[in-house]
Structure 1
């Protein structure tokens, strides 16, 4: 057996949890809770089995290696089966597999990184030839696309696809989704960023209209707008956007105003029309 000790498991799990990130020796030692000397020994062992790719003294798994692929699937399965939502996740996944006959089912979103809250949805990326979404349980979403759609979005640097690859947990795969770990992540394209900006401009106009008739919907859409603006800022800085509840922290160093706006809106406090207009002005600086 190649990965035997707890330290080796911790290092392998770290590489699989962040499959596109290169780790320095000091980062490996710190995250795995081992000495630098022990980290070097583990890397030497992995190197003997051609499991590593190196860039300026930083390392990550080489997923063209079958061992690395199998470890990724193992650790993703370990994560899902240890989740508090295990039964619901697997029940929905079974239904999707039965009804959609997919090539890949991937758990995405906050649940995939263990950051879910009571109100969080369970989200799945489903790559399948069918377009018919099965009837799913409450607070469960399935984003369906075929191989051609997935590959076009991948090549365009679509942020949802990149986020799914970076943070997703593979539940079912016919050797399709896993192959994309063999390649470097594509850069976010200007086309994707412009699409986000255009969407936000339309959303901004919708919110203005809603303030005249439906303040509750206006507040909900304002949070959506602030989240999308934060995503635009991160995309422009080549940062993979994290989950909804982590995005304020991720964007704080780049735009304090948007980060504070998100913090305020996440509190779900009622705000009046005047405050909504002020918030829109903050978002307009981004779009």
Structure 2
């Protein structure tokens, strides 16, 4: 037996396959993919179950989790045989925790369970599988394919990798190295669609604060314009200059002053 799920909030595809005994030759697992036309934003349940009672229980659990209006029933009855207590086991898998999984896939093939997708924290990743193992017992084998995706800020920080967007001395003109680094940033920003990116210009404390504020603002605007020229939606970008007011190192030697002359990228909703 199996069913395919997709949901606008959860965005999860689930295949639950129960192929016991001779029934293995009688049914193929449901295919995982996009929801059928006209079902966007809903949970689609399909495949085959052994009887009406099993179907009713699975649909009831899905409606409890996602709301009756969001569940589309495409489950067929007959032609398969389930292992003992299979329905109760599947209901344990379909716990409220499953709503923590985004862009995921759940496969239950007899007593073999594979769970893939994104969860918000490492603790959630470990706890979900631990709870499943405890609830299902030793008869079930669980493969943990869950992962914790990098946040938007992590993605920006990893791309920058402690490097400095370089400018010509005392100006807002990018150096070749500065353009190369921004090219890399332009390659990852489309992955942050829906987020706001603040481009923050910083300077050291050499010279007057007023001039440094103006220079940092000009450099932030240059970065914004460069990224927009690479196809990044300028509406998601904000440029601000804070001059020497937010140093990351003491301005006591050139090495540290160079660290303070930087562009910072901050992601927000």
Provide TM-score, normalisation by structure 2: 0.29
The structure richer in helix per residue is: 1
The structure richer in strand per residue is: 2
Larger Rg: 2
